[in-house]
Amino acid sequence: MIAFSEKSQIILRDIGWFPERKVETFPWINNLQQAGYDVFDAARKILEHLGGLPLKEPSAYKGFISLSDNTRIHFATHPNFDFIADNTPESDSERAVYWKENSFIKANGLQICPIGSIRGITTLFVVSDGRIFIGQFYVPKSYHGDKEASLTFLGHTIVEAVDKLVERCVGYL
Amino acid sequence: MSYLTKASSLILRDSGWSPQRKVDPSYWIDSLKKTDFPIFEALINCLEKFGGLTITTLPFQERPFFIEKQQAVILQRADPILELSPNKSKAIELSQAEQWKSLHYLKNKHLEIAPIGVFRYAYPPPFDLFILSNGNIFGGGRYWTVKEGDERLGLFYLGNDVEDAINNTIEEFLAFW
């Protein structure tokens, strides 16, 4: 289904992924819908392929790894993402409305759905055109009021997003 | 060559950059020659376009601006500053040319490397910015602990070219709400 980079595949395989993976999405989709999210096609496809993959402590990251082009890399830290969509930070039923009402989402006529988290601290979202964003509630210092539901762009596709998260952890020796 | 995003253009213009900017890089080239770093075309092009600039998101932090009618802000998580002046790099200060040039990654791909400046984050230490002869931009200056007692100098990828590296750096701090 998805052509992740060689580096991403090393990380993903370590948390239980394989290229043909396809899992039952019912529990996550049901919980997301009950929380108030619309689970659109792009979200459904990601959950089918990656849903349920957990955070995992580094294991295969000791020493350096030689890639197929003989490049030597070292994972200095683990990207620490998961794809447990119904247990992401600050995206429960009380918060769903803030994400759906985010001005960027509304103005572009998009839908938004959680797909996982990074380090259990920020939420990974997919929007209905397939783009991936990192979401977090943020209290601007210059404002006096509520937290803002802010979205930072991560990738045009899930592949680009995962590859980018993995690349941030790679050292070229 | 990558195109600068709207946010990057806005922040770069605030730092004194313009699309027509072209400066004489000979001062930096002379410094690099004295330290055994190679001089190559991608390096010269980069310094002509961006040499001497200090690019910071600080003036834009939490000051909403608009991209394609969308309100965007720079989050105040950190104050990333790119200083595109090779002479500020540790690689020059510490005469590390031979160490950097001997990296396996560069030899394997037959690439040359030269420092183009530093990247300062909210917390120290800053790390060096490097350009390779294929135009790729990497950060460096960290020793990676491959295993206990085995620390190696290494690079980490920032962008396909300098425009891409600037876009990627700014993008990490840019939020929509």
Residues of A in contact with B60 (CB under 8 A): none
DSSP state of A92: S
User: Among B17, B142, B28, B143, which Cα is nearest to B92's?
Assistant: B28
pLDDT at B42: 98
| Residues counted in chain A | 173
Per-residue pLDDT at A60 exceeds 60 = no
A72 to chain B: nearest residue by CA? B105
Q: How many domains does chain A have?
A: 1
Contact B84, B53 (CB under 8 A): yes
| Interatomic CA distance for residues A50 and A54, integer angstroms | 10
Report yes or no on A28 lying in a domain. Answer: no
Task: Pick the more confident residue, A104 or A138.
Answer: A104
Residue B1 inside a domain? The answer is no
Cβ contacts of A168 on chain B, cutoff 8 Å: 156
HEC profile of B94-148: CCCHHHHHCCHHHHHHCCCEEEEEEEECCCCCCEEEEEECCCCEEEEEEEEEEEC
Residue A42: inside a domain: yes
First to last CA, chain A: 31
Nearest-CA distance A96 → chain B (Å): 14
Predicted local distance difference test score (pLDDT) of residue B33 = 93
Kindly state whether A64 is in contact with chain B, defined as any CB-CB distance less than 8 angstroms. Answer: yes
Interface of B with A (CB under 8 A): 62-63, 69-71, 73, 75-76, 103-105, 108-109, 138, 142, 144-147, 152-157, 171-177
Half-sphere exposure of A31 (CA within 13 A, CB side): 13
The DSSP element (H or E) to which B73 belongs, if any, is strand B70-74
Angle of the B162-171 helix axis to the B6-14 helix axis, nearest 10 = 100
**Residue A1 located in a structural domain:** no
B125 cis-preceded (ω within 30 degrees of 0): yes
More confident residue, B84 or A141: B84
Its domain, for residue B137, covers 6-176
Q: What percent of chain A has pLDDT over 70?
A: 90
Residues of A in contact with B7 (CB under 8 A): none
Q: How many domains does chain B have?
A: 1
pTM confidence score: 0.90
Residue A142: pLDDT band by 50, 70, 90 thresholds? Answer: low
| Structural domain for A102, as ranges | 6-16+35-56+64-172
Q: How confident is the model at residue B2 (pLDDT cuts 50, 70, 90)?
A: confident
Q: Does A170 touch chain B (CB under 8 A)?
A: yes
Q: Which residue of B has its CA nearest to A98?
A: B177
Q: Given this model, what pLDDT does residue A65 score?
A: 87
pLDDT tens, residue by residue, B87-144: 999 999 888 999 999 999 999 999 999 999 999 876 667 899 999 999 999 999 767 7
Tell me, yes or no, if A62 comes closer than 8 A to chain B by beta carbon. yes
Average pLDDT over residues A93-112: 91
Contact A161, A132 (CB under 8 A): yes
Whether the per-residue pLDDT at A1 is higher than 60: the answer is no
B78 pLDDT above the threshold of 90:
no
Domain contains B77: yes
Mean pLDDT of the residues in chain A: 89
CB contacts, 8 Å: A72 with chain B: 104-105, 108
Average of pLDDT values for A20-32? 94
Please report how the helices A41-50 and A26-35 are oriented relative to each other, as an axis angle in degrees rounded to 10. 140
Question: Greater confidence, A104 or B160?
Answer: B160
Whether A29 maps to a domain, the answer reads: no
Collapse the DSSP code of A14 into the 3-class scheme (helix H, G, I; strand E, B; otherwise coil) and give the result.
Answer: helix
B28: closest CA of chain A, how far (Å): 26
